[in-house]
Amino acid sequence: MKLFKGSLTILASNWIMFPLGLLQSFLVIDYLGANGRGNFVLFQSIYTIGAFVLTSGMPTSAVYFFRQKIYSLATIALSFCLFSILVMFIASPLIYFNFGHISRVSGLTEGSPTLALFCVIALGSLFYSNFSQSLLLSLGYAKLVSLINLGRAAFCIIIIYVLCGLFNYDLPTLIIGIVTLDLVVAMLATLIIVKMPYFGVVANLRKCLKDMVSYGLKSYLNPILPLVQNNVSNIFIGRMNGPDAVAYFSLAVSIYNGINKIPKAVNSLLLGVVSDSGYENPNMKVAKVTSSLTYTMGALAFLLGVSGYFLIPSVFGMDFTQVLIPLYILLVTVVIVSAGATLQTSFFASYRPQTASILSMVGAGSLLILTPIGISYFDIIGAAIAIFFVRLTVYGLTVSKFKRISGVRWSETIKPDKEALHGIIKRAKKYIKKS
């Protein structure tokens, strides 16, 4: 029931977040043009890649050790803090003094020392946001996380409008404003964790840090596939086709990521449930959630595909009709991705994070090869096709491994449960009335 309520909260907040995200894209394109939007996306890709390299799977590690009741929340939080200070101390000067070279490699046309400094700040902010929000979701605070993200999205729109609309500032100033907001959000989310009543006391700090790093490194490469898909693909497109093409492709990816936040958040909640040391038959729970989520995502993808056909040309202009085919391909892909990611939750809960990492490495390696080939033949459509085939392959491998580990048949992950569906509708009506 708690998982259902959290999922419903996430679904409602994402329906609000989705148009807010599109409005952000529209404002950036309107004020700074496609080139400005493309450079903005490339900058985000750079610090997102940096955050992935430095995080080392620590958010997933924190969720596992807390839900298993091995270490207190205070010990986990302090271990993460010490780890982050160490890696940021080493990485910050490397990023700052090499930012010009990083900009040239990625196709970013802006590479000033000020942007280099704020790239480091953005990286640190994302570092702490990922950690704190993963913990909050696993603890069942879906409504709180939704409010934080909705607040951030609303303030992003205000910042874009004030800086670019009212005062006509350029891209670097906009980046500084957005990064400052992200820093405040990261500090707020971290403070909420510290102020929790069951924060506990610090004990066995050295052992906790060692165990978290060990578990984190095993799951470290799990996010590499979405990283390559959402960020490295932008860099390939930026180098081969320029920032304008990045702007077009990033709009399709933004819609994809908007709907994909739903399974991501549900999986964080699910990981907290099935990682609980007293939970019985977690694999069947994962299978049932996968089935429900697959049909939900399929319906949402269809609705977004139909509405996108009419809205994208009218809102963004006829130039953006070239976004439609990549968008349709990515909407089909997101249904596959949500199912596969949910099944992989069982790998983390059963202390097999390396299984998900290996699958992610296979997908990322394939995508690194296929994406530039696809772009060279079919431009941004080729990038979307590469993503689809790689994700389909990883899903097939995930299903095979899940069946072997859990003994649960694949049919259980796609079989619609009429009784469960009826119960969900009934509870949803009660929940909406209470809200």
The more confident residue out of 145 and 198 is 145
Of 51, 58, 78, which is closest to residue 213 (Cα–Cα)?
Answer: 58
Residue 202 has pLDDT above 80, yes or no: yes
State whether residue 320 is helix, strand or coil. Answer: helix
The band of 342, judged by pLDDT with boundaries at 50, 70 and 90, is: confident
Average pLDDT over residues 140-161: 88
Average pLDDT of the chain is 84
Q: Are residues 370 and 381 in contact, defined by beta-carbon separation less than 8 angstroms?
A: no
Residue 372 has pLDDT above 80, yes or no: yes
Rounded CA-CA distance 33/77 in Å is: 42
The more confident residue out of 354 and 272 is 354
Write the pLDDT tens digit of every residue in 213-248: 888 877 667 778 888 888 889 999 988 888 889 999
Average pLDDT over residues 376-382: 93
Q: What was the pLDDT predicted at 422?
A: 58
Q: What's 129-170 look like in SS3?
A: HHHHHHHHHHCCCHHHHHHHHHHHHHHHHHHHHHHHHHCCCC
Query: What six digits make up the tokens of 242?
Result: 């320029």
Average pLDDT over residues 199-217: 85
The more confident residue out of 229 and 326 is 326
Q: What was the pLDDT predicted at 431?
A: 47
Rounded CA-CA distance 138/268 in Å is: 5
Q: Are residues 295 and 418 in contact, defined by beta-carbon separation less than 8 angstroms?
A: no
Q: Are residues 111 and 103 in contact, defined by beta-carbon separation less than 8 angstroms?
A: yes
| Percent of the chain whose pLDDT exceeds 70 | 88
Write the pLDDT tens digit of every residue in 70-90: 898 889 988 988 998 898 899
Q: What was the pLDDT predicted at 174?
A: 92
Segment (H or E) for 87: helix 73-97
Average pLDDT over residues 358-362: 89
The domain spans of the chain are 2-434
Average pLDDT over residues 131-137: 83
Q: What was the pLDDT predicted at 253?
A: 92
Residue 8's region, left for phi above 0, alpha for psi from -120 to 50, else beta, is: alpha
Angstrom CA distances, 29 to 24, 26, 83, 246, 281, stand at 9, 5, 38, 12, 49
Average pLDDT over residues 36-55: 86
Average pLDDT over residues 110-125: 88
Write the pLDDT tens digit of every residue in 405-426: 888 888 787 777 665 555 555 5
What does the DSSP 8-state code read for residue 71? S
Which own/partner pairs from 165-169 qualify as long-range (CB within 8 Å, at least 24 positions apart)? 165/27, 165/31
Q: What was the pLDDT predicted at 435?
A: 47
Burial of 393 (0-12, 13-18, 19+ CB in 10 A): middle
